[in-house]
Amino acid sequence: MQELSIFWFRRDLRFTDNTGLYYALQEKENILPIFIFDEHILEKLNHKDDARVSFLHRTITSMHEQLRDVGSGLSVYHGKPKDVFASLIKSCKISAVYANRDYEPYATSRDIQIDEFLTSNGIGFYTFKDHVIFEKEEIVSGNGSFYKVFTPYSKAWKAAYHESKPSIKDDTLKSKNWAQVEPQKIPSLESLGFQSTKIPIPSKQVEDVLLEHYGEKRDFPALKGTSRLGIHLRFGTISVRQLAKKALQTSDVFLNELIWRDFYAMILANNPHVIDQAFKAKYDHIPWRNNEHDFNKWCEGKTGYPIVDAGMRELNQTGFMHNRVRMIVASFLTKHLLIDWRWGEAYFAEKLLDFELASNNGGWQWAAGTGTDAQPYFRVFNPYAQADKFDPNKKYIQQWVPEWNTSNYPKPMVEHKFARERALETYKTALEG
Ligand SMILES: Cc1cc2nc3c(=O)[nH]c(=O)nc-3n(C[C@H](O)[C@H](O)[C@H](O)COP(=O)(O)OP(=O)(O)OC[C@H]3O[C@@H](n4cnc5c(N)ncnc54)[C@H](O)[C@@H]3O)c2cc1C
């Protein structure tokens, strides 16, 4: 039996500047690339036309075709990763498995299990940093503890970046070390229990000119001022190192956003409790109202607050919502409606194309005031003032809420001043109690 090594693609779906893949092909011959549609993950998705699964399937298919052109191919499985490896080691002689690290709690425990299983079968499991620029223990304060506040973290991050200058790895497709395999068929989307979506996926090309004007335009949702690269960073169809290099040449403000991404990944990796608890324990005492009727109005974009409704409708129709508006709708849900941030977080997780556990959780806890570096609870966004400042001509509102300013548009579901005072009182009592 021919000896193979495996490269296991997960959230790193590209051939260029893919750290683990680069080292696998440098260090071993006969690299068999695999991808597993993980049952644990797919089972949790409620919508059969989930755009992220369609995107994943399309990306996998295109990678398979590119590998076919070099005489290889992607072996694609549907199941539980441990079962897939158990069956693989029965059918081939495997000397090593390479992968890039994934820091989400489920992925971390899965990888510990796979590592134990492979090691007990005499197979090495080698993992690499790829999804972030700096991992959880690389940027620490003077006393060795992790940062809880963004600004000092970002300063330390930049110093470390300039010192280490992360290198960009070559394209791997031309390597001689791909296993030459018989072409296999990829499971269809339908056989995985899904169907294709009509939601368009943003391009992964980003123009320099967009980044050059990013600092001036990024806060205005009616403008095309941000990159929309979230989904590509989430699945690794682009390299964060290449993007950071580009940011360094074009926009410091954009670089800062990439640092936020590392920051929240670091926070989650060091504090896995944040997935279902407040980062700051005392905020777990807030008595949320959790009114389901109110929550549904928020989800549907029928709150009577035009900027909130525009954001929610943009999300429901496109899988995207502008960052400024994410902050406004999240503040509205948690402060105006006193609904648990975890409800909003779960709704975003279901809808966002760029859903990333760490950033979503960080964004929600920031808005609710429960997280790191939090917006103090007494700062409650005024949705009218936010709309006047960031959508001054109401173009964004008109785009998503065509009936705004007509008799068909609902009245505000709660009065702003009343809701603000209720939130302040509720938070104050909970935190002092
Ligand atoms: C309540 C809430 C929930 C959020 N949920 C997510 C999420 O699930 N996934 C996600 O990637 N971002 C999330 N964000 C952060 C941010 O809103 C999005 O990253 C951004 O809007 C995506 O659009 P873009 O790709 O055009 O970003 P750009 O502005 O072009 O930024 C480029 C990239 O930098 C990263 N980035 C930008 N802002 C942030 C930020 N504040 N925190 C972390 N990373 C950032 C993203 O990877 C983004 O794609 C959330 C923010 C809030 C307030």
pLDDT in tens, 123-144: 999 999 999 999 999 999 999 9
3-class secondary-structure state, position 76: strand
Q: Note the pLDDT of residue 432.
A: 86
Q: Note the pLDDT of residue 297.
A: 98
* Number of domains comprising the chain: 3
Contact 323, 226 (CB under 8 A): yes
Average pLDDT over residues 32-45: 96
Of 104, 131, 158, which marks where a domain is finished? 131
Dump pLDDT digits (tens) for 222-238.
999 999 999 999 999 99
Residue 264 within any structural domain of the chain: yes
Nearest Cα neighbor of 12 from 103, 146, 102 is: 102
Dump pLDDT digits (tens) for 149-168.
999 999 999 999 999 989 99
Of 270, 292, 316, which marks where a domain is finished? 270
Nearest Cα neighbor of 130 from 228, 5, 13 is: 13
Shared-domain flag, residues 79 and 19: yes
DSSP string, 148-186: SSHHHHHHHHHHHHHHH-PPPPPB-TT-TTB------PP
Instruction: Report the residue among 132, 151, 356, 359 best suited for mutation to probe ligand 1: largest number of ligand atoms under 8 A from its CB.
Output: 359
Shared-domain flag, residues 125 and 154: no
Residue 189 within any structural domain of the chain: no
State the pTM of this model. 0.97
Dump pLDDT digits (tens) for 186-221.
999 999 999 999 899 999 999 999 999 999 999 999
Amino acid at 46: N
375 pLDDT above the threshold of 80: no
Shared-domain flag, residues 373 and 428: yes
Query: Residue 151 sits in which domain range?
Result: 132-167+207-270
Q: Of 323, 350, 382, 404, which one is the catalytic site residue?
A: 323
Shared-domain flag, residues 142 and 282: no
Residue 293 within any structural domain of the chain: yes
Average pLDDT over residues 110-121: 98
Shared-domain flag, residues 417 and 289: yes
Shared-domain flag, residues 264 and 329: no
Which residues are near ligand 1 (CB < 6 Å)? 218, 226-230, 233, 257-258, 260-261, 264, 323, 326-327, 330, 348, 352, 354-356, 359-360, 363-364, 367
Q: Note the pLDDT of residue 374.
A: 65
Tally Cβ neighbours within 10 Å of residue 44.
10
Residue 247 within any structural domain of the chain: yes
Shared-domain flag, residues 239 and 114: no
Assess whether 341 carries a catalytic annotation. Answer: yes
Shared-domain flag, residues 41 and 148: no
Contact 241, 361 (CB under 8 A): no
Q: Are strands 75-79 and 93-100 parallel, antiparallel or unpaired?
A: unpaired
Q: Note the pLDDT of residue 64.
A: 97
Q: What is the CATH number of the domain that holds 263?
A: 1.25.40.80
CB neighbours of 306 closer than 8 A, spacing ≥ 6?
387, 394, 397, 401, 404, 409
**Structure tokens given for 365:** 């806890």
- Ligand 1 nearest atom to the CA of residue 352, by list position: 8
Shared-domain flag, residues 307 and 423: yes
Q: How far is the CA of 366 from the centre of ligand 1 (A)?
A: 13
Assess whether 290 carries a catalytic annotation. Answer: no
CB neighbours of 87 closer than 8 A, spacing ≥ 6?
none
User: What is the DSSP-derived secondary structure letter of residue 283?
Assistant: G
Q: How far is it, in rounded angstroms, from Cα 354 to Cα 343?
A: 18
Q: Note the pLDDT of residue 144.
A: 92
Average pLDDT over residues 6-19: 98
Q: Which helix (H) or strand (E) holds 421?
A: helix 416-432
Q: Are strands 31-38 and 75-79 parallel, antiparallel or unpaired?
A: parallel
Q: How far is the CA of 326 from the centre of ligand 1 (A)?
A: 9
Shared-domain flag, residues 217 and 292: no
Assess whether 323 carries a catalytic annotation. Answer: yes
Q: Of 343, 364, 366, 400, which one is the catalytic site residue?
A: 364
Residue 175 within any structural domain of the chain: no
Nearest Cα neighbor of 136 from 258, 268, 242 is: 268
Burial class (CB in 10 A: 0-12, 13-18, 19+), 159: exposed
Residue 346 within any structural domain of the chain: yes
Of 70, 105, 131, which marks where a domain is finished? 131
pLDDT-derived band at 358 (thresholds 50, 70, 90) equals very high
Q: How far is the CA of 227 from the centre of ligand 1 (A)?
A: 10
Shared-domain flag, residues 381 and 409: yes
3-class secondary-structure state, position 367: helix
Q: How far is the CA of 264 from the centre of ligand 1 (A)?
A: 11
Residue 193 within any structural domain of the chain: no
Q: What is the CATH number of the domain that holds 101?
A: 3.40.50.620
Shared-domain flag, residues 261 and 286: no
Residue 56 within any structural domain of the chain: yes
Nearest-10 Cα torsion for 202, 203, 207, 211:
40
Q: What is the CATH number of the domain that holds 297?
A: 1.10.579.10
Instruction: Report the residue among 261, 328, 340 best suited for mutation to probe ligand 1: largest number of ligand atoms under 8 A from its CB.
Output: 261
Assess whether 257 carries a catalytic annotation. Answer: yes
The rounded mean pLDDT for the chain is 96
- Ligand 1 nearest atom to the CA of residue 234, by list position: 11
Contact 324, 390 (CB under 8 A): yes
